[in-house]
Structures are given as structure tokens and as C-alpha cells.
């Protein structure tokens, strides 16, 4: 058989690597049917490809070593301070402006289903010395996957390292009528904050930030699509608001 363009060595490689156009692939296949030598060569190349996959594909399913986790680098000092000040100012303005955005009956549902369980969970686990979290940040990927599966919606653990808070880990919690996820963050001085996430009756609403302070724990909470978020901690309101903004921003990314 004659081909418009002769079949070359390069065609055989490209054929094995799946890089030929359908028309050319057909021509190569016809050629291979007539040429046992070329067919053996192609088989040999394929065997090498398969052998390499057999050798190294198991790496894909290995758990990642902790040093390969990706967290944004903390920024340099002056930038960080400026950024923090910016967020506090912006947050204060926005927080005030958005406060009335939550309508009254939704507000009571949010308090019962989101804020109170979140604040209570914060009180329970923030003081915990031995078992503050169920899964530590060393297994962050697993943690996120697991919680996303149990909450039946993709969730994230936002990075707060820019504000000095490192992720400790997280846990699954029963909430009033659904499951909730709690992420815990800790500052170098031991100060802890928790982010509580769950679905609720507010599904697919969106609200601005609201703030509630009870029994020494402050909580900023808001709704974004199907999920309600509550950030709780015994920290100054402006700092907590700045953190809530960072959380909100990184979830929106």
C-alpha cells in the first residue's frame, strides 16, 4: 500500500503517544497491519510506557508528606501591618454598613442553628489541651476531603497565617439538625479561634457580617450560598472582624 506521506519512525512514536491526527493514525494502523517489524517496535514502545506507569503510578496515591503542604507565605512586616490596618478599617466600615442585611426571622434561625452551636463548640474545644481537633493540620488535605464529603458540599480551611494564626486542624460535629465542621486556628501565644461551617434553612441566601458577643466569646457570622459561617474567639472585635474578612475573601477566591 502507498501512503500520501511515507510512514516514518517519528510517526510510530507519535502513534504510541497518541499524538497523531485521526486520519494519520488510521494510515499508521494500516501500515502496522502489513509490517510485523514495525508492529513489534510499537508494541515495545507501548510496553515501556506501561512499565513506567506500573513503576511510578503508585506514587500518585501515596499520602503527601507534611512538608509538601501549600500555604501562602507570610508577607513581610510592614506590608502585613498595613494590610491588617486596611482590613480593620474596611471591615469596620463594611461591618457597620452590612449589619442590617440579615432579616429578622432569618436572624433568629441563624442564632439558633449557627451562632449558638458555634460559640458553644468554641467554648468546648478551644480550651482543650489533649484533643483540640480530630484531624490535625498535618493531614489537611484529608481533613478537607473528609469534611467536604460529610457535609456534602466542598468546604475549605482558609489560611490565616497572614494574621498570625496557624491551622491546628478540624473536626466533624453534630449541630442542631445537621452536621457541622469546625476548624481551629492558633496564634503563637496560644490564642485560639474557631471557624464553624454548616448548612441550614437559610440555603442559598447571602448576608453581610453580623456580630454577637456572649459569655466572653465573640462571633462574626454570615451566610454565603448554602453554607453558614461563624468565626468565634475571645479576641477584640476589630481583630475578629479582620479575620472574618480574610476568611470571607479566601472563600470567595
Partner 1 sequence: MQSIEQQVVEHIPRLRRYARALLRGDVAAADDLVQDCLERALSRLRLWRRDSDLRAWLFTIMHNLYVNRLRRADSQSTFSSMPEEIESLAAPPAADPMCLPELERACSLLQPDQREILLLVALEGLSYRQVATILGVPEGTVMSRLARARERLRRALEGDADVTLRRIK
DSSP class of residue 216 equals T
As measured in angstroms, the least distance from the Cβ of 17 to partner 1 is: 5
C-alpha–C-alpha distance, residues 231 and 64, integer Å: 29
- Beta strand extents in 79-216 (DSSP E only): 135-136, 166-174, 179-186, 192-199, 205-206, 210-214
Which single residue is written with the C-alpha cell 501500515? 31
Site string for partner 1, 85-104 (x = CB under 8 A): --------------------
- Asked whether 15 and 25 are in contact (CB, 8 A), the reply is yes
* Residue 14 interacting with partner 1 (CB under 8 A): yes
Task: Please tell me the count of residues contacting partner 1 according to CB under 8 A.
Answer: 38
The interface with partner 1 within residues 134-173 (CB under 8 A) comprises 141, 156, 159
Between CA 200 and CA 247, with CA 192 as vertex, the angle to 5 degrees is 50
Site string for partner 1, 176-215 (x = CB under 8 A): ----------------------------------------
Q: Does 57 bind partner 1 (CB under 8 A)?
A: yes
Cell representation of residue 70? 501549600
Chain residues 58-77 in contact with partner 1, contact rule CB under 8 A? 59-62, 64-65, 67-68, 70-73
Q: How many CB atoms lie within 10 A of CB 189?
A: 6
Which residues in this chain contact partner 1 in the complex, by CB under 8 A?
Answer: 9-10, 13-14, 17-19, 43-45, 47-57, 59-62, 64-65, 67-68, 70-73, 141, 156, 159, 250, 253
Amino acid at each position: 500500500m502507498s501512503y500520501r506521506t511515507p510512514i516514518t519512525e517519528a510517526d510510530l512514536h507519535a502513534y504510541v503517544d497518541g499524538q497523531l491526527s485521526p486520519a494519520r493514525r488510521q494510515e499508521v494502523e494500516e501500515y502496522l497491519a502489513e509490517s510485523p517489524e514495525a508492529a513489534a517496535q510499537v508494541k515495545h514502545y507501548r510496553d515501556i510506557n506501561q512499565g513506567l506507569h506500573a513503576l511510578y503510578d503508585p506514587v500518585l496515591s501515596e499520602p503527601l508528606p507534611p512538608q509538601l503542604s501549600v500555604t501562602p507565605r507570610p508577607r513581610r512586616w510592614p506590608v502585613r501591618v498595613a494590610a491588617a490596618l486596611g482590613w480593620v478599617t474596611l471591615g469596620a466600615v463594611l461591618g457597620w454598613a452590612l449589619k442590617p442585611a440579615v432579616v429578622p426571622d432569618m436572624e433568629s434561625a441563624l442564632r439558633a442553628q449557627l451562632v449558638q452551636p458555634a460559640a458553644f463548640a468554641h467554648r468546648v474545644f478551644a480550651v482543650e489541651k489533649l484533643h483540640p481537633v480530630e484531624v490535625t493540620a498535618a493531614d489537611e488535605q484529608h481533613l478537607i476531603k473528609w469534611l467536604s464529603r460529610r457535609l456534602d458540599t466542598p468546604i475549605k480551611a482558609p489560611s490565616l497565617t497572614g494574621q498570625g494564626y496557624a491551622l491546628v486542624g478540624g473536626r466533624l460535629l453534630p449541630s442542631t439538625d445537621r452536621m457541622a465542621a469546625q476548624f481551629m486556628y492558633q496564634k503563637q501565644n496560644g490564642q485560639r479561634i474557631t471557624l464553624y461551617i454548616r448548612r441550614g434553612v437559610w440555603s442559598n441566601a447571602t448576608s453581610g457580617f453580623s456580630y454577637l458577643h456572649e459569655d466572653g466569646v465573640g462571633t462574626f457570622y454570615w451566610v454565603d450560598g448554602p453554607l453558614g459561617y461563624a468565626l468565634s474567639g475571645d479576641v477584640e472585635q476589630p481583630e475578629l472582624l479582620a479575620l472574618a474578612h480574610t476568611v470571607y475573601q479566601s472563600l470567595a477566591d
